[in-house]
Chain A
Amino acid sequence: MPKFVDKDRTLFEEFKELYSEAQSEEGTGVASLDVLLAILEPSFSRIVENLSMPHWFNEEVLVVVGGEEVKNKFQQILDELTSLPFVRSHPRGYAYHDAVRKSLFQKLARKDTSRIRELSQRLVDLLKRQDKSDDEEITWERVYLTLGYDETAGLKALDTLFMENRRNRRFTVCDNLVNMASEQRALLSPEAVTRIDYYRGLLALDLQDWEDAETIFKRLVTVKHSSPLAGRIQLHLGLTLEAQGNFQRAERVYESALNRTDGHGEDPDLMAKLYQRLAQTYLTLGDLKNAEAHAKQSLAINQETGDRFGESLNLESLGRIYEQFKMYQRAQEMYEKSLALLDEVGREFDKSRIYCDLATLHESHSRWEDAEGYYQKAIQIKVRAGDNYGLSFIYSNLGNLYLKKGEREIALNYFRTALSAFQKFKDRFNSARILCNIALAFEHHNDITSAVDHMRRAIQQLPDGHRLEASYQRVLSRLEKNLGKGKASSWKKIGIVIGITVAVLILLFLIIIVFIAFFEEF
């Protein structure tokens, strides 16, 4: 390998010198990047830094962040930029490698927030001028950049976009928005950061990542802030705990949220929701009196604010509570009122749930025909909505109904249809439940071998470490024991039959001998 010529050695020494200077806290955290920024012409170096703000750039963006310098020698600057090793093509022009972009932006956020604010505004103006409101990526970029110079407006736009996409269950978009907003953390107030974290918690809750959701909401609950967000954070922490089956902890969280909001009646919607969740939690915990009291409180608020859908949910809860109280007439009244309200607000799909409640109510009175009628109404709604998955729950209930009626074959048909649907949707838990039902149906008809077979399959289907595993194992042990007993008793019966036959034969033999001896004597 050739040695340095003097000229190259001097260059190398200078390069080394720059490298040792670059190892400071002022920089990007990546020495090679700091050296490059130090070597580049200061005006060009500034452009390189500025371009770390948007997620991509094209000629127009370059003009906005480069100013006069770019106008004079546009093509030269663009060529220099695209020769940088971290600049790559992008569907909208060019983009930095994301790791480099992050390092450059962090340095800028530490060093010069006013530059960020000024340029963000100019970039937002540019995007507004382009008027591509139907282009989602541009809309998200605008929200992200707005957060860089106008926190209030940025948060408002973020909230609208996030909630709209959450309602439409577009969780990938929500995830995208939260991540983009988080990039601006260094420039935001603690309240704004809390709000972004709250969105992250909601997303984890929607994606059923309970552990993550709980960690986020628990951390946010301990943060002291006077924001009205506090109650919402507690509400969602409670929902996360409920989803995990921690009803007692959920109850404490809801109670504490209610205490916090006492006297702050400015958010009746939140209050109504807290009372409703408490009613549901108490119902699950078997505290019916408290459940009733809280459902009524929620109902009163919803009636006052005119939230008809909220009212229908309250009435549904009350129906379930009265059913538990064995006040069947009142329960039915509540369900019917709830149905009427759902009709009023056009929530056809939610009616299927109430029909199922009514069916269960009639089923508990052995009014099989009425129960089946309501299940059929629920089925019609599910079929119209194309909800195959929801349909399989009703088929499972109908299976149980026919089992109670003693019509095993029809019951098994319903169970098998439900099972194939659950398996198609890879719902292992509900597949296991159906298999368990089938096993019990077989046991009911003394087909213990088939019962054991289905119970074994049910245990195999259960997700690993599921809480039902122990109880399913107990059922299997019982069935296996019965099977063993059944086998033993069969052998016993065979033994007795053989014993009796042998005894009869011996007796006959003895009688014959006695007769022969008797006749020989005569």
Chain B
Amino acid sequence: MKIPSTNILKDFVDRVQELDGFEKMVGNLAKRVMCIYGPGGIGKSILLSKMMEECEKRGMRWNYTEWRDSKHYGYLDLMRKIRNETSPSLFLLFNDRVNFYMEPQYDLKIQLEGGAIQNVKVLEGGEIQQSGVTIHVGHKVVITDSEINIPRPDRNVTDDEMMIELTCAFMPCLQATVRESPLVIFLDALEKADEPTKSWIRDEFLVPIRDEEISNLIVVLASREEIELDPSFFDCTDKYELRPFQTAHIQEYLSRRGVEPNETLIDFIFATTKGNPIEIATNTNSLLQLRQKRQREANA
């Protein structure tokens, strides 16, 4: 996966506290959920890119999903995306369940006789273990997701039921994925996600991470709105509100961009942008463009 915003990452300034927090998180995994929020243009996505860079340095796996104006993800899209971009071979149980709800006339290939799906464990190599009985499917059965998005007409179950059953199948597969090495999942622009997806993230996806049913997994959430989590998440969550830049940050940024920092200029930029990073960057571009333009004119 390519780190987004690499073109502007070299000019990154500040966000020391947030990056320290992230480094501690990936260092000791004591906290497992990070919430970052702040208005548009404040630098959430670029901060996430910086964190991804940190993961790369540490040789740590990461996965990035951004809700865009042209592409919103539902809970199933998100689970499929995480599967596709991590270890697809460990998600047989999940694929089986997805096909069961989507593909007409599909019968479950992995039968969990008498046991609840919540008790299932997926072992390395894709073996499925449940209630002490291991069902070897890793090498013998290959179950691929038929990638159908429409619930099958002959299985008219409620959306909630499908969501719960699919999540129950997804979680052991995700647990198997992170058993050997940690994974950081970044979810960006969450304000664009619809309410059912947000509530799935809050109530289904994060809960096993909070309860340490899934270890070795860190989730970083970024949104324009403050992400409200249940108080029970207090011990495992770090929350950061991104603040506008101060003059010292503007000075550092200008230096990085090759603009001689000057008090009057810094004050002017601060006053006109109110410390909004994207506007500061735009102003710096304008200044550089203007300088080049005048130089070209002088040369001519």
Contact = CB atoms under 8 A, between A and B. Distances in A.
Contact of B262 (A3, A86, A179, A386): A3
A348 B159 CA distance: 19
Contacts of B73: 172
A90 B164 CA distance: 31
B95 interface: no
Interface string B153-170: 011111111001100000
Interface in A186-212: 207, 209
A12 B41 contact: no
B2 interface: yes
A40 B288 CA distance: 11
B157 A36 contact: no
Interface string A46-70: 0000000001100000000000000
B5 A88 contact: yes
B263 to A, nearest CB: 5
A4 B5 contact: no
A424 interface: yes
Interface residues of A, number: 67
A389 interface: yes
A18 B151 CA distance: 57
A4 B155 contact: no
Contact of A389 (B150, B151, B157): B157
Nearest to B11: A85
A70 B162 CA distance: 50
B244 to A, nearest CB: 14
A6 to B, nearest CB: 13
Interface stretch (B178-186, B228-236, B279-287): B279-287
Contacts of B281: 85-86
A99 B41 contact: yes
Contact of A32 (B156, B160, B282): B282
Nearest to B292: A39
Given A32-B283, A98-B68, A4 B289 contact: no
Nearest to A420: B116
Interface stretch (A163-171, A232-240, A306-314, A511-519): A163-171
A387 interface: yes
Contacts of A19: 272
B285 A175 contact: no
A35 B283 contact: yes
Contacts of B151: 168-169
Interface string B98-115: 001100000000000000
A390 interface: yes
B72 A386 contact: no
Given A36-B286, A385-B155, A385-B156, A168 B7 contact: no
Nearest to B194: A175
6 closest cross-chain pairs (CB), A and B:
A85-B281, A172-B74, A55-B70, A99-B40, A168-B150, A389-B161
Interface of A: 1-4, 8, 11-12, 14-16, 18-19, 30-33, 35-36, 39-40, 55-56, 82-90, 95, 97-101, 137, 140-141, 144, 168-173, 175-176, 179-180, 183, 207, 209, 348-349, 384-390, 424-427
